[in-house]
Amino acid sequence: MISQRANNAGFKTTRRAVLLGGTFALAAPGLLRAQGMMEHGGMMESGRNSTAATPAGGAPFRSLPTLNVTDGKLNLRAMAGQTRFEGGAPTKTKGFGQAYLGPTIRLMRGQTIEAQVANATERPISVHWHGLHVTSDADGGAPQSAIATGNSWRATLPIEQPAATLWYHTHVHGHTAPDVWAGLAGAIILQDEVSDALGLPSTDGIDDFTIIMQDKSFDAEGRANYDPGMMGIMHGVVGQIVLVNGQFAPRASVPAGPVRLRLINAATSAEHHVTFAHPTIVVGVDQGLLPEPIAVESVTVSPGARVEVIVDLSDGEICMPSVTAATVGSSKGGDASMMGGGMMAERSTPHPLLTLAPDASLPVRGRIPDRLVDPLPDTPTPVTTRRFVLQENMGPMQHLRSAIGSGPVMAINGEPYNPDRMDFTVKRGTVERWTISAEGMAHPFHAHGVKFRVPEPNGPEEMGWKDVVTVAGTRDLWVSVEAESRSDIPFMYHCHILEHEDAGMMGQFITK
């Protein structure tokens, strides 16, 4: 549970973090320094981000507060505040129990959690437990789960799935993107006896780092700004820099051995491409550990997705993984990656994600086994095939809405989201084939209450069980229906470019 002190006092007053009067200050050595324009594959950046400032970086890594839910009671309180990112001008932000982001929730398989979420912000919010397989009335994604200002919401969460890095975030249609950007998001670390017995790095803040990545752009005073405009809504917002738990390029002292990074992309619309100079392996994706480690030089984390990597620092040398925020689908396609309508993809300038500095005084505790979990079972024959077309361009009506000042309307299979329409029904415990097509640009596809396999994965990030996958062109998914819904409270499926979700690229279904 979040104590009264955690709600109101926050972190101690140091140069690392200050929480005073609702302002969360993330200080770092040096002052903000001006930086030039972003790289855009030859395109000039739009005016919404044209004034830039980049912090100096190098402050000690700050783990977010941790909630070990050992008593089965989970309490969260959404609140508004202000955040000084790396000492810049105050930015209006939101968080759970603090001014920006929320605590890391640690759960154990076999628990049943009684969750209560209170809303102290100025408009309705919700909490969707992204990747957790719970009933639709507890999932938090449906419109029926919205929490009005001053109200609370309760949910029972039986934890019955394997260990994984999950996350939680608000999910109110029409306001998901700005409120997630503002900070209504946090990590969930789900453990089980199988994963605990492997001996993987697991000491939080020493050799196991939970990293919530959000890309943001800043004005000359260091104030983060979110003003996507029509083009940002249509093609996604790509920020100048990628923050780590609200910090720019922090520095962490680590053992000279294996170090685990749990990468969570909590951005509204950009994918994050992370490159490693040290030997690195992928050990887990959205829904849990892979059967065996896979060596990589880089990973691309789609919006909403998670990738767990272990970096080998046994040589004792400093490691500075590099990160780039980019238009979805463009990181592995080079500078020529195109979006719909022939527009070039947008990219930030690469910069250090964080610095991992080996310290010989820290004991090496983690290890990397050759095998992690049992091999994935053969996928059963799908009981049916469903087809979905993700559409961000609805033709001439888009131009009319733009001319009169309305936002764009997006759709799936020609139908913008309608909370009064149930799109289909699936049977729990079955496997279906879903064929997803993206018109124009690539889209990260996500569905609640299910997990899926990608028969033709595009790299280790798409192996194993997933709940987010980037779709460029047409892709097949083998979808396992995991959770039960109520007949009046659906599960959602949507593009995880949150601006697209808010604009109508979402549908809903029930299970039986």
DSSP 157-185: EE--S--EEEEEE---TTTHHHHHHHT-E
Per-residue confidence band for 331, with pLDDT thresholds at 50, 70 and 90: confident
For residue 55, what are the contacts with CB-CB under 8 A and spacing of at least 6?
28, 30, 32, 33, 85, 86, 87, 88, 222, 241, 248, 249
279 has pLDDT over 60: yes
Cα four-point dihedral sign 106, 311, 327, 494: negative
Mark out the alpha helices in 407-446 (DSSP H runs): none
Q: Of 343, 346, 333, whose CA–CA distance to 41 is shortest?
A: 346
pLDDT, tens digit, for every residue of 172-209? 999 999 999 999 999 999 999 999 999 999 999 999 99
> Phi/psi of residue 460, each to 5°?
-60, -25
Q: pTM to 2 decimals?
A: 0.90
- Mean pLDDT taken over the chain: 88
**pLDDT of the residue at 160:** 97
CB atoms within 10 A of CB 278: 17
pLDDT, tens digit, for every residue of 421-480? 999 999 999 999 999 999 989 999 999 999 999 999 999 999 999 999 999 999 999 999
- Cβ contact 110:116 at 8 Å: no
In whole angstroms, what is the distance from residue 67 CA to residue 3 CA?
10
pLDDT, tens digit, for every residue of 354-368? 999 999 999 999 999
